[in-house]
Amino acid sequence: MRMLEPIRQAANFLVSPWKRKDRGVFAAAGGSSAGVAVTRDAAMEVSSVMASVSCIAQDIGQIPLELWEERVVGDRRMQYRAAWAREYTLFTRGPNSYQTPQQWIEQILYHCLIFGKYFANKTYVGGFVDELHPFDDPSRVKVSREDGRLQYELLDGDAGLYAGRYTDEQVLYIPGPSPDGYLGRDIATSLRQPLGIALALSLHANTFFSKGGYPSVILILPEGTKEADRKIAKEKFEELYNGSGRSHVAVYSRGTELTRLESDPQKAQALESRQQNASDIASSMRVPEWRIRQQTPPSHQAWRDYIAITLGPWMERVRAGLEKHILGGVGGGPSSPRLYLAWDQERLLELDFPSQVAAYRQAIDGRILNPNEVRERLGFNPYAEGGAYVNPHTTAFADPATQGGE
């Protein structure tokens, strides 16, 4: 792209290729075709990246993740909240003394989205996971596979945790998506090219606007001007014309000429392309533009698509990872309950009231819930005839005016 060639040339000095030495630690930085080094810290300075990550993490963080049990009663399987389980407090009070459940889930998603992986140290009481303490910097953990099991090596101390090797029993590990299935890819690796263009455009825009939106100029002084006078003239001109001082008037002696370097139309187009680049990054993270701009969804279907396409895969990744490492297949025998995790989908429906009402209507029609149970969930008082499990479309109701018998 010819439009970006001046930007690549101007930003070549920023390139600092970083080659990883081990597959267990993904590259934290690397060059892009735009000629700009892409790092995680630089990626988080791109507004569309930060907005997309925050939307996913905060939208899922406000949905309760609950611990349930499944019991076989006769020939039926019944589900109840497993308030008796030792692990129940991890999801109701938080994984440790300083995090709430919402803060914990948000941190898991931030780490998975930015670093490509989340780690936490597990502490046990009586053979059950009692607390989880997250590793502050997942990039300092090397993951390896030995004899069919994962091993973790903390390269240096982290939040009171000792540097050294940890086993799978000591670490809760949730990786992000990756080709190998167990090493997550960080955002700088996954979105290197669009991030490189975004950073190059930002560098160009900062340079452009630091001059008050005006291109550079050449000040030609009369022949024979002393070096000290040339320096004074240059400093005086920059003082008057840089930034907000561009509206001032500079007066010079006869023979001084001012030549303006005209703005390249291709460079001006580069500024306009930032918006398109932001949309490309959000699309790569499957976040709709209306969401990162904090706008009302254009339709109920758009909101449902956002839940299914954007939030759904991350919700399942977190749920499955926590269930595997914390519950570890607890229960499930002929007479013992099976423990499992499930998101409170009703909280998602609360954000889309028309869809919530439609879902409850189907639950009533299918005799899954009765009207009073629905009213209780909506915060309304019950009514006398609302306790029956009937389909209002197929059940004939007596006219109240004719009731009372003969």
Same structural domain, 97 and 166: yes
Number of compact structural domains in the chain: 3
The model's confidence at residue 40, banded by pLDDT at 50, 70 and 90, is confident
The model's confidence at residue 104, banded by pLDDT at 50, 70 and 90, is very high
pLDDT digits (tens, 9 = 90+) for 138-187: 888 889 888 888 888 888 765 556 678 888 889 999 999 888 888 888 88
pLDDT at residue number 14: 36
Contact indicator for 242, 283 with CB cutoff of 8 Å: no
Same structural domain, 206 and 233: no
Closest by CA position to 44, among listed 159, 187, 148, 172:
187
Task: Decide which of 326, 345, 364 is a domain's last residue.
Answer: 345
Locate 143 and state its tokens. Answer: 């993951």
Residue 403 lies in a domain: no
Continuous segment of H or E residues that includes residue 317? helix 312-322
Same structural domain, 84 and 171: yes
pLDDT at residue number 174: 94
Locate 236 and state its tokens. Answer: 């005086």
Listed in sequence order, the residues at least 6 apart from 50 whose beta carbon sits closer than 8 Å to its beta carbon are 44
pLDDT digits (tens, 9 = 90+) for 195-243: 777 777 777 666 666 655 555 667 777 777 888 888 887 787 777 666 5
Domain assignment of residue 371, given as a range = 352-394
Same structural domain, 35 and 65: yes
Same structural domain, 3 and 118: yes
SS3 (DSSP) at 102: helix
Listed in sequence order, the residues at least 6 apart from 399 whose beta carbon sits closer than 8 Å to its beta carbon are none
Locate 93 and state its tokens. Answer: 């009070």
Residue 401 lies in a domain: no
Residue 406 lies in a domain: no
Same structural domain, 75 and 160: yes
Give me the sheet containing 65-73, strands edge to edge. Answer: 76-81, 65-73, 338-343
pLDDT at residue number 205: 67
Lowest mean pLDDT segment, chosen from 108-112, 272-276, 366-370:
272-276
Buried b / exposed e over 382-402, threshold 16 CB at 10 Å, is eeeebeeeeeeeeeeeeeeee
Mean pLDDT of the 33-55 span: 80
The model's confidence at residue 406, banded by pLDDT at 50, 70 and 90, is very low
SS3 (DSSP) at 59: helix
Residue 103 lies in a domain: yes
Listed in sequence order, the residues at least 6 apart from 133 whose beta carbon sits closer than 8 Å to its beta carbon are 95, 96, 120, 121, 123, 159, 160, 161
* CA–CA dist 188, 340 (Å, integer): 34
pLDDT at residue number 315: 95
3-state helix, strand, coil in the chain (%, to 5): 45, 20, 35
Contact indicator for 263, 217 with CB cutoff of 8 Å: no
Contact indicator for 297, 351 with CB cutoff of 8 Å: no
Average pLDDT, whole number, for the chain? 76
Same structural domain, 378 and 229: no
